[in-house]
A = this chain, B = another copy of it.
């Protein structure tokens, strides 16, 4: 494919400082594919053959062990999956499935590693990307270790609220089932957690949540920038 097909990829922080030459040669070996929904793109344990970049749609990263399964995160356009495995030439630690029909760019990992060796600016961009990803998961780990499930939900709602402009209402971006798994609880418990938050001005109507008493919700949630702010 040609790089002109995907200006938005070129604008990714990961690629924008890359030399034109390197970028072109990466794009030449890349595949742009459209996948149906609910398709397993990656199974954990498989060798990392490709770097995946979500162009349209969305992808769920999840992990399994014994019979259990947990959603790790949702990747939306334009975002990359599992850069760390690609760089280390290791196996994937997480599985990935499309949530809906999605357009994905696949770049062979050997070519990513070659570009990383050749292009110093690219190597530096990767460092920033990895450092950001690392700090992101540190925050999620703290969230899970230091808070109860009701607190996690309250803080997540406040974060959504801020992301969405902060006008008192929130649109849940995914199914409640997935939200529950992201927050480390069962769907039943998520439902009950919403009920617990009712006295704090949380009114649920399907995917729409109204926050009618923010100060009281904040008092309960005690949001912490070192856990909740998106990119500190």
Are A70 and B123 within 8 A (Cβ)?
Answer: no
Are A66 and B144 within 8 A (Cβ)?
Answer: no
Q: Cβ of A130 < 8 Å from any Cβ of B?
A: yes
Q: Given A141-B144, A144-B141, do A226 and B93 touch, yes or no (CB 8 Å)?
A: yes
Chain B contacts of A124 at CB under 8 A? Answer: 116-117, 123
* Chain A stretch 112-167: residues in CB contact (< 8 A) with chain B: 116-117, 120, 123-124, 126-128, 130-135, 137-142, 144-147
| Bitwise interface map of A from 60 to 75 toward B, beta carbon under 8 Å scored 1, else 0 | 0001111011101000
Chain B contacts of A224 at CB under 8 A? Answer: 65
Are A232 and B91 within 8 A (Cβ)?
Answer: yes
* Chain A stretch 51-102: residues in CB contact (< 8 A) with chain B: 63-66, 68-70, 72, 83-85, 87-88, 90-91, 93-94
Give the residue of B116, B120, B127, B138 whose beta carbon is less than 8 angstroms from that of A93: B138
Q: Which of under 10, 10 to 19, 20 to 34, or 35 or more describes the interface residues of A? A: 35 or more
Are A68 and B134 within 8 A (Cβ)?
Answer: no
Chain B contacts of A88 at CB under 8 A? Answer: 128, 131-132, 135
Number of copies: 2
| Bitwise interface map of A from 209 to 232 toward B, beta carbon under 8 Å scored 1, else 0 | 000000000000010111100001
Chain B contacts of A184 at CB under 8 A? Answer: 145
Chain B contacts of A226 at CB under 8 A? Answer: 44-45, 63, 65, 91, 93
The residue in chain B whose Cβ has the minimal distance to the Cβ of A151 is B66
Chain B contacts of A142 at CB under 8 A? Answer: 63, 65, 70, 72, 93
Give the residue of B87, B127, B145, B147 whose beta carbon is less than 8 angstroms from that of A144: B145
Are A146 and B85 within 8 A (Cβ)?
Answer: no
Are B137 and A134 within 8 A (Cβ)?
Answer: yes
Are B45 and A84 within 8 A (Cβ)?
Answer: no
- Which residues of chain A have a CB within 8 Å of any CB of chain B? 44-45, 63-66, 68-70, 72, 83-85, 87-88, 90-91, 93-94, 116-117, 120, 123-124, 126-128, 130-135, 137-142, 144-147, 184, 222, 224-227, 232
User: Top 3 A-B pairs ranked by shortest CB distance?
Assistant: A84-B131, A65-B146, A130-B130
Q: A65-B147, A117-B124, A123-B123 are in contact. List 6 more A-B contacts (CB 8 A).
A: A45-B225, A63-B145, A63-B146, A65-B227, A70-B145, A144-B145
